[in-house]
């Protein structure tokens, strides 16, 4: 890179020592850090002030422009006119890490780095139309923040698909790369909002969000006290961004509470993480790799303690502990309701009143395959899992009673009541010879065991209860 810059007009070349932003000599003599960009960079600016003036304005307002991080450092030197635009190199996260070493290391260890891989790995991604996956309005619009292979970056760049191509620019908008912008909760809102990700709505209706909103309206110029998403989830600028309960709010080992243990076993089976004998599946390994569940006591406890420490910056430690315990109780209640819904549908599969999913190893719903043709009762089950349970868990740990209860637990209970009525209707139809799919069992035929009927399922000891072993 240094030799290329010299060949393109730089008279003195410097390199940035990764992570420390120190100027060090790069095999070329120098006297002092240059105070202005070389002529070749000014040529980029002159041209792009006409072609893309907003881009130039963003860069000129950035710290990059005053620290000699120019067009050539990120995009290379091959592009020089409107005739060779495709030669401008796409920005890769490795370039950012040259200077922001600590942030790159933190990001690599967090869940955002896995977002692109998760979009392709989870089953539901393969049963949707490309319009729902690709483009600026598809799933990958948010999942682009994850690390990608160089050829994928080149393809996305060619398609002009916007933020997230270089991962870092998912939050630090090009070409300003503003840390002030990235610290605002609205930056998180773009992905973490809506029925399946109601975290913005949860935050906005909590005491934290309300106070921040009032501070914004007051246009206070001093330091603000209301916490934002980044205050708790990125304390001190930590880019790892992890939550104790993980994406699916399931964890191992199983609890000593027998009822909760049975409910969580049912959920793990419906997620396809364990089979009906309690053995880990290929999907278990996948979700472990994608960091979408907490599969050891240590992974959960470490993140939990980090969260408690963050909360304790403003609140008494006993209040923090009590609040987190109350949140755990909401998760327990949500698990009990979800497991009932799963068992209800699984019993309809076992009795051959409904046809189970083709990819299912047995008479069990697949919670990770929501985007396929399904019946009303299955539709309600997915709403219980993907919308109402997520609202309950998020509301419980973010101080939003409306989401924890009205839009969470209460909504789950309402859906469950409607599911019971629909299950009874389906059974009456089956008894009358009007089965929705394959008809009823023959008289005296033994129902196939689903492994999901309360305590008839896996025992807690199968994959870890209390201090017993857990799946790794």
359-414: pLDDT as tens digits: 666 778 888 876 565 799 999 999 999 899 999 999 989 888 888 898 999 999 99
Q: What is the mean pLDDT of residues 92-119?
A: 84
Name which residue leads in pLDDT, 315 or 220. 315
Name which residue leads in pLDDT, 198 or 372. 198
pLDDT at 440: 40
Is 324 in contact with 316 (CB distance < 8 Å)? no
467, 450, 456, 376: which is closest to 419 by C-alpha? 376
pTM: 0.65
For residues 229 and 393, what is the distance between their CA atoms, to the nearest angstrom? 16
Q: What CATH number has the domain spanning 258-463? A: 1.20.850
pLDDT at 359: 66
> Considering only 16-25, 315-324, 350-359, 405-414, which range has the smallest mean pLDDT?
16-25
Ramachandran sector of residue 235 (left: φ over 0; alpha: ψ -120 to 50; beta: rest): beta
pLDDT at 5: 52
Tokens 């603000």 found at: 224
pLDDT 10s digits, 221-278: 455 677 888 888 888 888 888 888 877 888 888 999 999 999 999 999 998 888 888 8
Q: What is the mean pLDDT of residues 92-120?
A: 84
Is 406 in contact with 387 (CB distance < 8 Å)? no
H or E segment and range at residue 142: helix 140-143
Name which residue leads in pLDDT, 127 or 110. 110
Most confident of 134-148, 208-222, 312-326: 312-326
Q: For 36-104, give the DSSP string.
A: S--HHHHHHHHHHHHH-HHHHHHHHHSHHHHTT--HHHHH-SS--SGGGGGGSPPP-HHHHHTT-HHHH
105, 106, 70, 112: which is closest to 91 by C-alpha? 70
Listed in order, the ranges of the chain carrying CATH 1.20.850 are 258-463
- For residue 83, count CB atoms less than 10 angstroms from its CB and return exposed for 0-12, middle for 13-18, buried for 19 or more: exposed
Is 30 in contact with 12 (CB distance < 8 Å)? yes
57, 50, 18, 11: which is closest to 32 by C-alpha? 11
Is 412 in contact with 389 (CB distance < 8 Å)? yes
pLDDT 10s digits, 428-464: 998 886 544 444 444 334 444 444 444 333 333 344 4
For residues 150 and 154, what is the distance between their CA atoms, to the nearest angstrom? 6
pLDDT 10s digits, 64-78: 888 778 887 788 878
């Amino acid at each position: 890179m240094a030799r290329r810059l010299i060949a393109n007009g730089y008279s003195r070349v410097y390199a940035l020592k990764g992570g420390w932003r120190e100027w060090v000599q790069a095999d070329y003599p120098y006297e002092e850090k240059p105070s202005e960009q070389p002529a070749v960079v000014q040529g980029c600016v002159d041209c792009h002030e006409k072609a893309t003036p907003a881009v130039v304005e963003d860069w000129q307002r950035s710290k990059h422009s005053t620290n000699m991080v120019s067009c050539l450092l990120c995009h290379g030197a091959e592009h020089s006119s409107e005739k060779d635009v495709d030669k401008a190199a796409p920005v890769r996260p490795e370039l950012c890490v040259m200077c922001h070493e600590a942030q790159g290391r933190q990001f690599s260890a967090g869940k955002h780095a896995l977002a692109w891989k998760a979009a392709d790995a989870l089953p539901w991604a393969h049963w949707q139309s490309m319009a729902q996956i690709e483009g600026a309005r598809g799933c990958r619009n948010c999942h682009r923040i994850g690390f990608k292979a160089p050829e994928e970056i080149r393809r996305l760049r060619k398609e002009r698909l916007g933020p997230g191509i270089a991962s870092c620019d998912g939050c630090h908008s090009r070409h300003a790369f503003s840390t002030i912008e990235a610290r605002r909760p609205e930056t998180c809102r773009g992905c973490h909002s809506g029925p399946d990700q109601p975290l913005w709505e949860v935050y906005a209706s909590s005491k934290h969000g309300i106070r921040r909103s009032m501070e914004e309206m007051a246009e206070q110029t001093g330091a603000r006290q209301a916490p934002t998403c980044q205050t708790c989830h990125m304390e001190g600028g930590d880019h790892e961004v992890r939550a104790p309960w993980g994406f699916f709010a399931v964890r191992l080992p199983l609890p000593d509470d027998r009822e909760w243990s049975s409910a969580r076993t049912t959920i793990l089976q419906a997620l396809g993480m364990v089979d009906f004998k309690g053995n880990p599946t290929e999907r278990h390994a996948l979700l472990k790799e994608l960091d979408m569940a907490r599969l050891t006591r240590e992974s959960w406890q470490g993140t939990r303690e980090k969260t408690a420490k963050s909360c304790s910056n403003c609140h008494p430690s006993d209040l923090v502990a009590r609040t987190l315990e109350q949140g755990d109780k909401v998760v327990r209640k949500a698990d009990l309701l979800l497991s009932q819904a799963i068992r209800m549908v699984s019993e309809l599969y076992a009795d051959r009143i409904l046809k189970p999913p083709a990819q299912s190893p047995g008479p069990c719903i697949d919670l990770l395959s929501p985007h396929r043709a399904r019946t009303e009762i299955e539709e309600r089950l997915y709403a219980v899992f993907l919308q109402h349970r997520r609202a309950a868990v998020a509301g419980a740990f973010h101080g939003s009673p409306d989401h924890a209860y009205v839009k969470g637990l209460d909504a789950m209970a309402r859906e469950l009541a409607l599911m019971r009525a629909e299950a009874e209707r389906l059974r009456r139809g089956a008894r009358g010879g009007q089965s929705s799919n394959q008809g009823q069992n023959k008289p005296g035929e033994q129902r196939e065991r689903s492994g999901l009927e309360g305590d008839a399922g896996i025992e807690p000891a199968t994959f870890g209860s209390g201090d017993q072993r857990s799946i790794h």
